[in-house]
Every structure is written in C-alpha cells, then in structure tokens.
Structure 1
Amino acid sequence: MNHLLIVGLGNPGKKYEHNRHNIGFLILDAFVKSQGESWKENKKYSESLITRDNYKIHLVKPLEYMNLSGKAVQTFAQLYKIPATNIIVVQDEVDLPFGKIKNKIGGGTAGHNGLKDIVEKIGSSDFHRLRFGVGKPEKGQMEVADYVLQNFSEEERKEFDALLSESVKKLDEWLKTTLNELKKGSAA
C-alpha cells in the first residue's frame, strides 16, 4: 500500500483556535468532515486516515507549536516512506491577500516557522503547499508575528464558509491529480 500525507499547520490549544496562523487546522478539519471521517489524537498530533485508489492518505495536525511542526511530518514521512513530492502542507500565507488560495510546489519558507521546521526535518522543500492568504498588517502597524496570532476579523469571518469550501475543493483536486500522476508513473 502506498501513502500520501496532508498536513495542516497551526498551534494547539483554545487560545489559538481562530488565529490566522491556524488556518491549516481549520481547513483540514473541514476536509476531514467532508470525507465523513474524524480525528484520533495522541500527544504529538491528530490523525485521520482515508483510502483512495489503493493509497492511504494520512491527514495530520501537529499538536506541538508551529515551529515544531516538522517532527510530525518527519515521523510520517519516515514511517511510511513518503517522499516530499507526495506531501501537501496547508498553511497561512501573509504574502497573499486575505482569501486568495494558491497551490505551490517547493520554494522557500518566507519566514514561516512551520515550513522552516518541516524543510529542516525532512531535508527537502519539494513538498506541495496549499497557501491560504491571510494578508499582512499595514507597514509599521504591527509585527507580522503578532498579526498572524490574531483572530480573523468580523469582516473576514463572513467569507469563511465559502473559503473553507474552496480550500477543501483544492485539496481534493490535489489528491486526484497526485493519484493520477502516481498511477501513470507505476504503469510506465
């Protein structure tokens, strides 16, 4: 059986639940719910599992703080021999305006501590990213680190359901595309 890994980034605990930095958790929660699945928790991560086309797809929310996200990714990548190219990380992105959702493969970490730790722990930046735009504060208004640890605004929350649905759709598309490419590759 082959394996894929979908990781949502965030910080554990009620205090951070609706922060911009936790959009990865929120999107993964919506995705797991759309699959009719639920979470199993241990101290280090929450996990859910779905199977498609003879592939096990591990859905993971690291439950250590953002800057330690790489530990859970490394655990799954090593345990199930999942190459970086078969991993997608769902993250907040300050370099995109609020509500803009983009897929990207590889690249730098742009100061994102969760991504930095993942690259460090798995030794590669070739994983896919689902980047959810959270925007950034006006120059001189506040530090980006403080901004991402704030809750979404009232205005932003109005668009939330539609944006979560769009994000779930994009994860589904990634899954279909990746599975198709892997099937083609194994048939060659």
Structure 2
Amino acid sequence: MKKYLIVGLGNIGSDYKNTRHNIGFKILDHLAENEDLTFETQKLGDITTYKLKGRTFILLKPSTYMNLSGKAVQYWLAKENIPLENLLVITDDLNLPFGSLRLKTKGSDGGHNGLKDIQSKLGTTSYNRFRFGISDAFSKGRQIDYVLGEWTEEETNGLKERLDKSIELIKSFVLAGVNNTMNTFNGK
C-alpha cells in the first residue's frame, strides 16, 4: 500500500490555535473532522492515518514548534519508509492572496522558518509544498503580529469553503499525482 506523509505546519498550544500561521494544522484538523479521524500524540507530533482507494495518508502535525519542523518530517519519513516524492508540506504564505492555493514541487523557503528547517534537515529544496495564501494585509513592521494574529471575521467566513478545497487538493495530490493537481488547483 502506497504511503504519503501529509504535514501541516503550525505551532502547538491554544494561543496559536486560530492564527494564520497555523493554517497547516487547521487544514489537517478539518480533514480529520470530515473523515472522523482522531489525532494521537506520538514522537515529535500528533499523528493520524487515513486510508483512501488503496493509499495511506499519514497526517502529521509536528509538536516541535514551527522553526524546528524539519526534525519531525525527517523522523516520520524514515520511520514510515516514505519516499520524498510522497511528502506534502502544508504552510501559510504571505505572498499569496487570502485563500489562494498553490502546490509546488520545489522552491525556496520564502523566508518561512518552518520550510527553512525542513529544507536544512532534508538537505534539499525539492519536496512538495502546498501553500495557502494568508495575504499580506499588514502594515510595515507588523508581519509577526499579522502572521500570529487570528483570522478576521470576513476571513473566517471564507475559510470553510477554502478548507474544503484544500482537502480536495490533498486527496488529488495522493490519487491523481502532483502534476494533475497543480493543473487543477493552482491559482483557483
């Protein structure tokens, strides 16, 4: 059975629960709710497994805090013997408009500390990442406050549909492959 490691980036703790930076956790939580899955705390993160059409999705929310995400990714790839091309990292992106979805097979960390650590631990920039746009609607010097800030009411209202779309993207990545998924979802 083919296995995939789907990693949602975020920070643990109730202080961060509804922050923009935690969209990776939020997307995986949404998938777990929809499929009636329960996360269990294991080494370096909370894990649950989802099976669909002969594929196994291992959903991971690292408990290492954002800036040390690479350690958890590296550990679970090795433990579950998952090839790098079956890794998908979900992260927030300031450079994309709110709610836009972008899947890429490689790229820079874009100043994102979670991606920076993953890149350093894996020794490559060639891994699949799914970027969820949180927009850059903050004034100069307020980036940290914005990223660690909670969603506005307007964003919260638009989030449900975007979360559903994000789950479709994840399932498509596993079932239809990265190229088909990029064609279907990028910029939508």
Fold-level similarity (TM above 0.5): yes
The alpha carbon displacement at 1:53 in A equals 4.6
| Residues 1:72 and 2:57 are matched in the alignment | no
Gaps of 5+ in 2: 181-188
CA contact (8 A) 1:137 1:144 kept: no
CA contact (8 A) 1:8 1:90 kept: yes
For residue 156 of structure 1, what is the aligned residue in structure 2?
Answer: 155
| TM-aligned CA distance change 1:166 to 1:53, over 3 Å | closer
For residue 34 of structure 1, what is the aligned residue in structure 2?
Answer: 34
Please tell me whether Structure 1 or Structure 2 has the larger radius of gyration of its CA atoms: 1
The alpha carbon displacement at 1:94 in A equals 0.4
SS in 1 for 2:117: helix
Alignment of 1:43-54 (within 5 A): 44-54=44-54
The alpha carbon displacement at 1:97 in A equals 0.8
The alpha carbon displacement at 1:9 in A equals 0.4
Gaps of 5+ in 1: 182-188
For residue 3 of structure 1, what is the aligned residue in structure 2?
Answer: 3
SS in 2 for 1:157: helix
Residue identity in the other structure for 1:134? I
TM-score computed with the length of structure 1 as normaliser: 0.88
For residue 22 of structure 1, what is the aligned residue in structure 2?
Answer: 22
Counterpart-to-counterpart distance in 2, 1:128 and 1:45: 20
**Alpha-carbon displacement from aligned partner over 1:73-114 (angstroms, at most 9, x marks no partner):** 000111222222110011100010111112111111000011
For residue 177 of structure 2, what is the aligned residue in structure 1?
Answer: 178
Count of matched residue pairs? 180
Counterpart-to-counterpart distance in 2, 1:178 and 1:35: 21
The alpha carbon displacement at 1:43 in A equals 5.8
Runs of 4+ in 1 over 3 A off after TM superposition: 52-55
**Alpha-carbon displacement from aligned partner over 1:31-77 (angstroms, at most 9, x marks no partner):** 12222211111362000012345443211000121001111100011
